[in-house]
Chains A and B, each alone.
Chain A
C-alpha cells in the first residue's frame, strides 16, 4: 500500500536533531519504560504504588521535558524540519523497530494477556500486578490487562498532547482541539468509567461505559449482557441506554451537520486522540495515491456494512418473539432496520445522486441489495439471518475489526502507514460521520482564491491521505468524507490558502477551471 521510494540524490543529511536536555529527558522516559519492562519479566517490586508512580511519572515527565527542550528555544511556527531525515519518522530503522514493538505489544495484549501477568480471578503477577494499586484506588478491584492499557493510553495522550500543544503553540485551533481530546480521554474514557465500577454491587451492575464511545465504534454496546445490565440498573441504566441510542440518531447528526465530523474525530474520540498526539510525528506517512483512496472507500464502507449486519444479528438473536411481552420483537426490529436503511438509501438516491461517484453508486446498490435480500430470505425461507450465526458474526468482527484492525494495524503500524490507518480504512463510525459530512454538513475547507502554489505541504501532512493540494490548486473547496478536521493542512500551508469553516450548504463545493485572479471575462466564459 505504501510506496517506499527514497530519492537517493535528495536524501539529505539530518541536522543534529537531539540536544543535551532531550537526551536526559529521553533517558528518564526510558527508565520509566524499563521499570515496566522489569515488571513484565516478573521482577517483584516491593512497594508497587511507589514504583508504578515512579514509572508513569518518568514516562510522562520525560516526554514532556523532551518536548520543552525541543520547542521552547524555538520561535512559534511550523516545526517540520528534518522529519524526512529522521529514521523514526521516515520509515527508517527506528521506525520499524517501534512499529514492530508496538505490534508485538498489541498481539500480547489481545491474545496473550497472561504474559503481561494477568490472572483472571486470581492474583495478578508481572506488569499487570504493578498496576493493581492504581486500579484498586480507582475502581476498587485488581487491574486487568485492559486497565494497564487504558492507563498507558491515557498517559500517552496527555504527555504527547502537551508535546503537540508546544509544537503548535502559535495555533489556537490546534491547542483547543488537543485540550479537548486530553479532557475526554482522561475524564470520559478513563476516570469516569473506572469510578462507575465502584457503584457496582451484588444487586446493581453497570457495564463499563465510555460515554463518548458511540456505536458502531463501540460495536459491542448493544450486546445482550450490556443491555441486561442497563435494564437491570434501573433509571441510571435506562438513561445510559437511551443516551447511547440518542448519540447515534440525534446528537451525532446534529453536531456533524453543524461542524463536520471533526467535532468527534479530532476533538472527542480516543482513537483520534491518540493519533493526533502520540501519532502526530507519523502523520505524513499516510498514503496519498489515488489507488489508496479507492481502496479506502471500499474497505471502510465494507466494515460499516459488516458492523450493521453483525449488530442487527446480535440484537435480533436475543429479542423475543412474543409481542404481548414486549413491543420490540425480532420481527419488529428487523423490519425497522430494513425500513430505516431503505429510507436512507432512497433519500440519498433521490436528493444526492449527482454527488455519488461511480464506485459509490455501484457499492451502495450492491450492499443495499444484499442486505435487503438477506432479510427477505430470512423471512421467506426461515434461513439463519445473514446466513451466519449471530455469535459467529460477533466474534469474527471482534477479532478482525475490533482487535486486528483497530489495535494491531491501527496503532502498531503508526510508524509505517501513518497515524490514522484505522480511522481512514476501518472505523465504521468515521464512515457514518463521513457519509454525512460529504452529503449533509456545513463543514468544508475553504480554498483561498488563486493563492495556492501547489507546494504539497497540505497533502503531505494530511494524516487521512487526502490529496488536499489537488483541490486547492484548482481553487476548489475540500469536501471529503474522510477529513477529520485536524486543521494541520491549514497550519502548514505557507501561503494562507486553507481555512476550516462551517458555512451554508450552497456553493460548498465550487470547482473552477480558471482560478481567481485571472481575466474576469475568461473566468466567466470558462467557469460558466
Chain B
C-alpha cells in the first residue's frame, strides 16, 4: 500500500489528507511538531481573548482521525533524504514515504533587527507563540505596554488581542495608512481610524530601528528609525510571514524563498510535493504572488494536489481571487483584484464609497477602457462570494455590477441597505466625468 506522508497539519496538509482519503485507500501519515491535532490558525486570537477554548478551534473531534485512518505523528522533521525516501526526526527515529507532501506553513518574517532574541519579542503564527503571549502578557500588570511592528493582518489581530486585556498598544506602521500596501488609500485611512478608536496608538510612517533589553535579557524599549524611544514589555513582530523551510537546507529539494513547485505542485524531486504557505510557484499564476500565504489558497492547493496524488493529475488553477479579514469590528471581504496605489495597474480605475459612520466602505475596481469589472473590496457590508465569482467569470461591466449590487448583499436580514447610496454616488461621479 502506498504511503503518503504529509509534513504539516495545517489547512493545506489536512485538506490534502482528507481528499486523498476520499479518493483512495493509501496509508496516510501526518506529521506535526506544533500540535497533536489540526486547529484553525486564524482563530488563535480568540483563545487569548477568551471567546473560545483551545479545543473549540479544532475543527474535528479526536475520533475523526482514527475513523478516517489518518495517522498522526507529533515530531519535528529535521532532515529529508529524498534518495532513500526517508524523513528523520529530531526526537530520533525515521519514517519512509512513497509520496511526500510538504505543507510546513510559515514562520514569522523578520528583518534582522537588533534585539530579536530578547524575552518578550515574538510573532503570532503558531501555538507556541500563543502560549508565549499568554505567559508574557497575561494581564496589564505583568505587561503594561506592547509595541507591535508592522501593519498587516496579524498585527491588527495582535492589537485586538492585547486590547481585550486592556494592555496599552503602540503599533508602528511603515505606510501612511494601515495595510496600505494592499488597501487603497481611503480604505487604509478608514481602518487606521478604526484601530485608533479602539485605543491603539497607531504610528504611521514609523519604522523599527532596534529593540533594547534590560540586564536580564527582557525587552525594555524599542527605538524607531525616527529616533523615538518607546518603553514596552513585549514586542510583537508582525511584518509578514515567510515559508518554513529551514529543515530542508540539507535536502535536494530546490528552494528559493519557498519550495519551488510547478503548476502541479511538484518539486524538482519526483514524488515530493509542496502546498500551502511554504510553496513558491516557479511562474506566478495570473496576478497572484508566487507565494500565497492565505488560508484559502492552502486549502485549494490541498484539494488540487489530492487529485494528482491519486492518479488524476490536476494543475493548481485557482479561480477568481478572494480573501477576507476582520479589523476589530470591521469585516473585510474582497473578490477579484483591487490594488493599492503602489501596485495599481495602469488600466485599473477605482470607485470608492464610504458610509457616513466611517465603518463601511466599498471600492469597485474596473478597467478604464473596457469598463470590465475587476474586483471589489467591501468593509462592513457582507457580500456573496458566489455572485461576484459569477460576475467576474461573465466579465460583467462596472455599470452592471453597481446596478445589481443588491443581489450580492449577504448582510443579515433587516440590516440597513446601502446599494442605492452607492449607486447614486457612482452615477454622480460618472455623470460628472462625462460632462467634463
Q: Is A152 an interface residue (CB 8 A)?
A: no
Q: Which of A455-495 contact B (CB under 8 A)?
A: 455-457, 459-460, 469-470, 473, 487, 490-492, 494-495
Q: Report B160 CB to chain A, min CB distance, Å.
A: 9
B interface residue numbers (CB < 8 A to A)? 11, 19, 22, 40, 42-43, 46-59, 61, 63, 130-131, 134, 138-140, 164-166, 197-198, 295-296, 299-300, 303-304, 307, 314-320, 322, 324-326, 328-329, 331, 333, 382-386, 389, 393, 410-416
Chain A residues within an 8 Å CB radius of B51:
80-81, 83-84, 457, 460, 492
Report the number of A-B residue pairs with Cβ-Cβ less than 8 Å. 195
Contact B389 A513 (CB under 8 A): no
> Looking at the complex, which one of A82, A460, A513 makes contact with B19 (CB distance below 8 Å)?
A513
Contact A494 B331 (CB under 8 A): yes
Complex CA gap A513/B49 in Å reads 33
Complex CA gap A473/B59 in Å reads 9
Complex CA gap A171/B411 in Å reads 10
Contact B11 A517 (CB under 8 A): no
Q: Is A450 an interface residue (CB 8 A)?
A: yes
Which residue on B lies nearest to A86, using beta carbons? Answer: B50
Which residue on B lies nearest to A172, using beta carbons? Answer: B414
Complex CA gap A449/B53 in Å reads 27
Given known contacts A12-B47, A522-B303, what 5 new A-B pairs fall within 8 Å (CB)?
Answer: A450-B296, A453-B40, A457-B43, A518-B304, A519-B315
Which residue on A lies nearest to B52, using beta carbons? Answer: A460
Contact A456 B166 (CB under 8 A): no
> Looking at the complex, which one of B50, B56, B318 makes contact with A14 (CB distance below 8 Å)?
B50
Q: Report A225 CB to chain B, min CB distance, Å.
A: 42
Contact A456 B48 (CB under 8 A): no
Complex CA gap A330/B130 in Å reads 68
Chain B residues within an 8 Å CB radius of A16:
166
Complex CA gap A13/B165 in Å reads 9
Q: Is A9 an interface residue (CB 8 A)?
A: yes
Task: Pull 28 A–B residue pairs with CB atoms less than 8 Å apart, ordered by A.
Answer: A6-B53, A7-B54, A15-B166, A75-B198, A80-B51, A86-B50, A173-B412, A446-B410, A448-B385, A449-B389, A453-B40, A454-B42, A455-B42, A455-B46, A456-B40, A457-B52, A495-B324, A496-B333, A499-B410, A499-B412, A499-B413, A501-B413, A516-B389, A517-B318, A518-B319, A519-B317, A521-B314, A525-B307
Contact A75 B197 (CB under 8 A): yes
Q: Is A520 an interface residue (CB 8 A)?
A: yes
Chain A residues within an 8 Å CB radius of B55:
5, 7
Chain A residues within an 8 Å CB radius of B325:
495
Q: Is A295 an interface residue (CB 8 A)?
A: no
Binary flags per residue of A68-82, CB closer than 8 Å to B gives 1, else 0: 000000011110111
Chain A residues within an 8 Å CB radius of B138:
12-13
Complex CA gap A482/B163 in Å reads 36
> Looking at the complex, which one of B47, B61, B300, B415 makes contact with A10 (CB distance below 8 Å)?
B47
Contact B384 A449 (CB under 8 A): yes
Which residue on A lies nearest to B53, using beta carbons? Answer: A84
Chain B residues within an 8 Å CB radius of A457:
43, 46, 51-52
Q: Which of A69-105 contact B (CB under 8 A)?
A: 75-78, 80-86
Contact B50 A517 (CB under 8 A): no
Which residue on B lies nearest to A490, using beta carbons? Answer: B412
Which residue on A lies nearest to B44, using beta carbons? Answer: A455
Q: Report B90 CB to chain A, min CB distance, Å.
A: 21
Chain A residues within an 8 Å CB radius of B47:
10, 12
Q: Report B52 CB to chain A, min CB distance, Å.
A: 5
Most B CB within 10 A of own CB, among A6, A449, A470: A449
Contact A519 B319 (CB under 8 A): yes
Contact B40 A7 (CB under 8 A): no
Complex CA gap A446/B322 in Å reads 18
Complex CA gap A13/B296 in Å reads 32
Contact A12 B413 (CB under 8 A): no
Q: Which of A169-201 contact B (CB under 8 A)?
A: 170-173, 176
Q: Please name the 7 residue pairs, one residue from A and one from B, whose CB atoms are nearest each other, closest first.
A: A449-B385, A77-B329, A496-B382, A455-B43, A82-B50, A519-B317, A172-B414
- Given contacts A14-B50, A518-B304, is CB(A172)–CB(B329) below 8 Å? no
Which residue on A lies nearest to B301, using beta carbons? Answer: A518
Complex CA gap A499/B385 in Å reads 12
Most A CB within 10 A of own CB, among B140, B303, B329, B384: B303
